[in-house]
Amino acid sequence: MHIIVGGTGNVGSATARALLRRGEPVTIVTRDAANAAGLAAAGARVAVADIHDTGRLREILRAGTTAFLLNPPAAPDTDTDAVEHAHLDAIVAAVAGSGLHRIVAASTYGARPGPPCGDLTVLHDFEEKLGALGIPLAVNRAAYYMSNWTGMLDMVRDGGKLPSFFPEDLPIPMVAPADLGEEAARRLVAPPDDTGVQYVEGPALYTPRDAADAFSAALGVDIEVDVIPRPQWEDTFRQLGFSEQAARTYACMTGTVVDNAGKWPGAPVRGATTLQAYIREAVERGNGNAR
């Protein structure tokens, strides 16, 4: 049995569906069974638990042999680093003594130790704490999510502009959630020696201009890129409702992407979904929740 923690989000649900297509048994962990109704209909079992209920989560994990672990993001109006560290500590505590044979963990490009820098430092800590448990661990570090662009679909459609913290012509690695799910599923069923860090991105590098052009093609209107200058990043995040701490760490993450342009891993796993296809599907669905 494969246990999917974070199984109702884009990446977790894509992982579950990829496993179900392979005929593998899957249990989705969720706080609300209604959120997993579609996956249940597809053949997944559903286990209700709050990840901070360590005993309940460990009980669910003991029913499996492998687990996909995704640290849930915190609401941006909170102290996101503190909240996400509390999430990961609860998950790690539940995994300890669970009897799992193998773990696949979701992480991010640029994960690193050091002063708080959002997901980069939080997920590095997640990797380190899971690795210390002695359970075979496979880590998938994901490129920039394509869903970050489609989450702005209403704004783009209504205003004709695509906001971007990145320079218009900066090529960066991006990846679709469905491709992350496929790679996570592959590693969950892989031989025991498939451990360590693997980078996952799409078939090519893309720029914000590419994203705007994809929206233009899908919507049938010209979309401009509205670049937010670096000195305005923190203020912009605050105006969007982010806490002071979250605005600072999200600006740190954004700066890391910009400053490391061209320094990407040399041999990533490449998914098949192009940015253009991903955005087209989101527009056709009428919302930003392309898979």
What is this structure's pTM?
Answer: 0.92
Query: How many other CB atoms sit within 10 Å of the CB of residue 33?
Result: 13
CA distances from 124 to 106, 172, 248 (A): 10, 21, 18
CA angle 234, 255, 237 (to 5 degrees): 20
Unique residue bearing structure tokens 């959120």: 35
List the beta bridge partners of residue 224: 161
Provide the 3-class DSSP secondary structure of residue 241: coil
Run of H or E residues at 215: helix 208-219
Q: By C-alpha distance, which of 81, 30, 22 is closest to 57?
A: 30
For 169-200, write each residue's pLDDT tens digit.
999 999 999 999 999 999 999 998 899 999 99
- What the chain holds in terms of domains, given with CATH numbers, is 2-144+176-201+265-271 (3.40.50.720)
What average pLDDT does range 60-75 have in this prediction? Answer: 94
For 26-67, write each residue's pLDDT tens digit.
999 998 889 899 999 999 999 999 999 999 999 999 999 999
What was the pLDDT predicted at 249? 95
Above pLDDT 70, what percent of the chain? 98
Query: Percentage helix, strand, coil, to 5, in the chain?
Result: 45, 20, 35
Query: How many other CB atoms sit within 10 Å of the CB of residue 173?
Result: 20
238: pLDDT strictly greater than 70: yes
